[in-house]
A and B are shown apart, each in its own frame.
Chain A
Amino acid sequence: KAGVTQTPRYLIKTRGQQVTLSCSPISGHRSVSWYQQTPGQGLQFLFEYFSETQRNKGNFPGRFSGRQFSNSRSEMNVSTLELGDSALYLCASSRGDMNTEAFFGQGTRLTVV
């Protein structure tokens, strides 16, 4: 069974640009969550999508957005990039019912210059 796939693995963007990251969950999983990991703040929850709807949301500005497609694949978009957005962005996949295991992908390393 294939795991969670995130693309691309690495990205370098310029301040002010926008970026789109992609996540393909484990087959049969309907929930996709996104997290930001930085050395200073650790792992922080961005948002969760389930059945193409945002179900939970963390405390990030509106520049961070996402969506989920009918095949459960998800994309995350960050607009007007800031230097502080440099981070490892992780996607987690789960079945979606209450309190079930969440499995992470390898992440996308975003560097904003």
Chain B
Amino acid sequence: GESVGLHLPTLSVQEGDNSIINCAYSNSASDYFIWYKQESGKGPQFIIDIRSNMDKRQGQRVTVLLNKTVKHLSLQIAATQPGDSAVYFCAENPVPYGQNFVFGPGTRLSVLP
């Protein structure tokens, strides 16, 4: 796996606002991506995924955007709620079969009342 940096970016948003979390991925061969949410003391929780043949995918209150040209992913959370406070990771899978997910460093989202 790839090493990741020590610095954990933090995003603070007001409750009810929209949040945008960004991620740069490293391997242009990656064709599958997942966003995970991790709360303190818990394992990462699957939020939404996207394949490289798409540039946008929507879920419940969440949207993932993929820009392959600049190797960039974003996660948009609509009407952010206190329960959305967590660390968010993007993960890319650069292998054609199975799993070898490479995770980004994560972004800590803090929702302010």
Please report B residues at the A interface, Cβ cutoff 8 Å: 1-6, 31-32, 34, 36, 42-46, 49, 51, 89, 91, 93, 95-106
Interface size, chain A (Cβ < 8 Å) = 32
* Nearest CB of chain B from residue A57's CB, rounded to whole Å: 8
Please report A residues at the B interface, Cβ cutoff 8 Å: 4, 6, 31, 33, 35, 39-46, 48, 50, 55-56, 58-59, 90, 92, 94, 96, 98-99, 101-107
Label chain B's interface by main secondary structure.
loop
Pair count A-B, CB < 8 A: 82
The closest CB in chain A to the CB of B31 belongs to A99
* Nearest CB of chain A from residue B48's CB, rounded to whole Å: 9
The closest CB in chain B to the CB of A109 belongs to B41
- Between-chain CB contacts (< 8 Å), 25 pairs: A33-B99, A42-B4, A42-B106, A43-B44, A43-B91, A44-B3, A45-B1, A45-B102, A46-B1, A48-B98, A56-B99, A56-B100, A90-B43, A92-B101, A98-B97, A99-B31, A99-B51, A99-B93, A101-B34, A102-B46, A102-B101, A103-B46, A105-B43, A106-B42, A107-B43
